[in-house]
Structure 1
Amino acid sequence: MNIQEKRLAIAKMGFSDGFMKTLELSNSFRTSSLRKQCKPFIVNGKKVGILKPDVVDMMREDPDVHESCVELTKKVDKNFFTRTEAIDEILRKWKNHGCFNVALKGWRDEVYSISNSLHDDPLFEMERAGASLFGVIQRGVHINGYVNHPEKGICMWVATRSQNKQTFPGCLDQIVGGGLPAGLSVMECAIKESAEEASIDPSLVKQAIPTGAVSYIFNNEKGIYAEEEYVLDLLLPFDFKPINSDGEVEKFELLEIEKVALLVAEQKFTPSSAAVLLHFLVQHGFIDPDTERNYGEILRGLHSPIKFDDVL
């Protein structure tokens, strides 16, 4: 089947409501009753995060936080280094006292750079396990690894996450995906994650094509996830077989694109991977305005702007 035939096949399968349900989950914070109870986290005069009421209460107990609003005091809000040290001390204190254990038990000793735009100078760095407590923007990199199958057409490599993963165990993912740690570019992160998760040679990863980004805000028991995921599409050789080397993947499967669309509609993927795959389906014409009745809503759901002035 060619792309046009597959597009019509996906349209006839009636996935539209499932796609919308998937995006509602990815964007759940905007319609949540929790939203009205949250406060902005202010650093250097800028709103950089969203704090739930229980986090607000804990923050205001800290001497380095103003009581009148959730803002670092002038003593520590001086520069990148003083802010990083202050946030690290707060998170380690909470971790040592067993506070917010659902989130902080996933402590990784891996830090994110925190800024409202990718190329802004970072305001501070923080342990990634604590990012959802502060509702700051978390950035990641995903690779859609696909194959032009001689008989089945476009097929996608799909990973099943290990049951031991700290987040979304057993859910489905792209062939490669991970958080963007401090100090790495998008391509450097893609190369690192590709080696660890699927044993893809760096020379092959460098052929991946950046196709944009998806953004959304959802909340769960761990906190608030304001996520911005950068998307790379990588056409893989037909005979390529991914091999996991870091223990975070249970198995890989090469699935026809119609099957991938079904699994997205059934909410089998993590929120980030589901959004990235919907982006792929749009970019490659498998979802189009003539056959998808929710086309405009899907586009808006994939690119929900993270502007804290608008959110709170």
Structure 2
Amino acid sequence: MFPRPNRKPGVPYSDFPVDEMGNKSEMITHGTPSRYSFVIEGLDGYWAHVERCNSNRDKRKDYLPFIAGQGLHVGFIHPKFAEELKRFPGIFTFSGDKAKGQMVQLNRTLITEKDCTASVEGVMQILANEGKIHSWRNEKYPVVTSFGSPSLFWLERACVPYLGTKAYHTHLNGYTIVDGEMFLWVSIRGDSKMHQDFPGKYDHLVAGGQPVNLTPKENILRYAQARANMPSDMAEKAIPVRTISYEQIDDQKMKRDVIFCYDLEVPYFWQPKNNDGEIDSFKIMRVTEVAKIIRSSTGSYKANSALVVIDFLYRHGFINPNEHGYLELQQSLQQGENE
């Protein structure tokens, strides 16, 4: 636990909401006082983010099962993308018929994780060079049936939704408490040519995909340094709190994502600094202000990060259980395959 002093002039938080005398400014609020601030009333604005992350799920039936290893179902492939894979019969095979349903299978002659990885990557690089796969990241995700199960092969991050395999992420809510009021650090994503994902969107202090050969906690430590220049001894105090899952279908891509959520109370005097070029700037904001942004717009916040913030609001008492749809919204944060 870090000291939680009253805000005084000279504290290095230039963007804390303060008046001309350096005192914390008044906030117009509505609702019943909660543990840290005020309960936020009305849930309608949150649903738009849930629906955005779980869009077009009814189209799952149109996708072909993707099989690897000893008959293990690891993904879903759109028929149009499957047509591209038919050009590589030594890597991908097809079975079944229209009556019983077709499936795509990794060629059974590919036995080892290394051979499967090299063969699949060769195909994906060809398709990327042809403009059929975008945003290549040179970052590998494990292809598994569930988290912690043996990896069948490694897959370039950009290719994951095209094969519909599971992807895992780690997100960190970095908060601080001043005068008994909770503030949340948010980042604003950059729009450089190198990192063009979600340019200008609000995001978490620390967030990133879960690559091969790292535990979620190790991944938090890695991203904490890269995204926010956070000392390892500070990041080590991050607490795992929940998982969030969703399933999103967009044209020929299916995202089946699970997010490991962490909370971390950071010292009031600490300032983040980006090291990897993905973040343009950081802001410290009242939790109620962050909630207002998420409720009022689906375009301002990175979609899956908004879900993690909604969960944070639940766990820290900012959402009123008397609100209509309280339980339904909470349950909707785990609509994917949470495994």
TM-score, normalization by structure 2 = 0.82
Q: After TM superposition, give the deviation of residue 222 of structure 1 in Å.
A: 7.2
- CA displacement, residues 43-86 of structure 1 (integer Å, 9 cap, x when unaligned): 1212211212221111222212223221112112x232222122
Question: Corresponding residue for 1:60?
Answer: 86
Amino acid at match of 2:224: S
* Structure-2 separation of matches of 1:96 and 1:198: 33
* Structure-2 separation of matches of 1:276 and 1:29: 21
* Structure-2 separation of matches of 1:5 and 1:184: 35
Is residue 64–residue 79 contact of structure 2 (8 Å, CA) maintained in 1? yes
What SS does the corresponding residue of 1:184 show, helix, strand or coil? coil
Question: Corresponding residue for 1:3?
Answer: 34
* Structure-2 separation of matches of 1:170 and 1:221: 24
Is 1:70 the counterpart of 2:100 in the alignment? Answer: no
Amino acid at match of 1:57: E
Is residue 83–residue 124 contact of structure 1 (8 Å, CA) maintained in 2? yes
- CA displacement, residues 278-306 of structure 1 (integer Å, 9 cap, x when unaligned): 1111111212422x312222122211132
> Which one of the candidate residues 125, 128, 144 is aligned to 1:115?
144
- CA displacement, residues 156-175 of structure 1 (integer Å, 9 cap, x when unaligned): 00111001233211111010
**Larger radius of gyration between Structure 1 and Structure 2:** 2
Judging by fraction of residues, say which structure has more helix: 1
> Which one of the candidate residues 278, 286, 290 is aligned to 2:318?
286
Structure 2: gaps spanning 5 or more residues: 1-28, 96-102
- CA displacement, residues 238-287 of structure 1 (integer Å, 9 cap, x when unaligned): 11111111111111111111111112222221122011111111111212
Question: Corresponding residue for 2:183?
Answer: 155
Question: Corresponding residue for 1:86?
Answer: 119
What SS does the corresponding residue of 1:86 show, helix, strand or coil? helix
Is residue 144–residue 176 contact of structure 1 (8 Å, CA) maintained in 2? yes
Q: After TM superposition, give the deviation of residue 307 of structure 1 in Å.
A: 7.5
Once the two structures are overlaid, the 10-residue window that deviates more, 60-69 or 141-150, is 60-69
Amino acid at match of 1:122: S
* Structure-1 separation of matches of 2:176 and 2:136: 36
Is 1:36 the counterpart of 2:70 in the alignment? Answer: no
Aligned pair count? 295
Structure 1: gaps spanning 5 or more residues: none
TM alignment of 1:1-312, pairs within 5 A = 3-4=34-35, 6-8=37-39, 10-11=40-41, 14=42, 16-31=43-58, 34-44=59-69, 45-63=71-89, 64-68=91-95, 69-76=103-110, 78-100=111-133, 103=134, 106-150=135-179, 153-164=181-192, 165-220=195-250, 223-265=253-295, 266-267=297-298, 268-290=300-322, 292-306=323-337
Identity of aligned residues (%): 28
| Greater RCO structure (CA 8 Å; 6+ sep) | 1
Q: After TM superposition, give the deviation of residue 7 of structure 1 in Å.
A: 4.2
Amino acid at match of 1:92: Q
- CA displacement, residues 8-45 of structure 1 (integer Å, 9 cap, x when unaligned): 3x11xx3x1111111011111324xx333211211121
Q: Specify whether residues 244 and 215 from structure 1 end up closer, same or farther in structure 2 by C-alpha distance, changes over 3 A only.
A: same
Amino acid at match of 1:285: G
What SS does the corresponding residue of 1:66 show, helix, strand or coil? strand
Is residue 60–residue 70 contact of structure 1 (8 Å, CA) maintained in 2? no
In the TM superposition, structure 1's runs of 4+ consecutive aligned residues that sit over 6 Å from their partners are none
Amino acid at match of 2:319: I
Is residue 176–residue 268 contact of structure 2 (8 Å, CA) maintained in 1? yes
Q: Specify whether residues 51 and 222 from structure 1 end up closer, same or farther in structure 2 by C-alpha distance, changes over 3 A only.
A: closer
TM-score, normalization by structure 1 = 0.89
Is residue 224–residue 235 contact of structure 2 (8 Å, CA) maintained in 1? yes
* Structure-1 separation of matches of 2:312 and 2:145: 25
* Structure-2 separation of matches of 1:264 and 1:47: 36
* Structure-2 separation of matches of 1:305 and 1:95: 27
What SS does the corresponding residue of 1:23 show, helix, strand or coil? helix
What SS does the corresponding residue of 2:93 show, helix, strand or coil? coil
Q: After TM superposition, give the deviation of residue 189 of structure 1 in Å.
A: 0.8
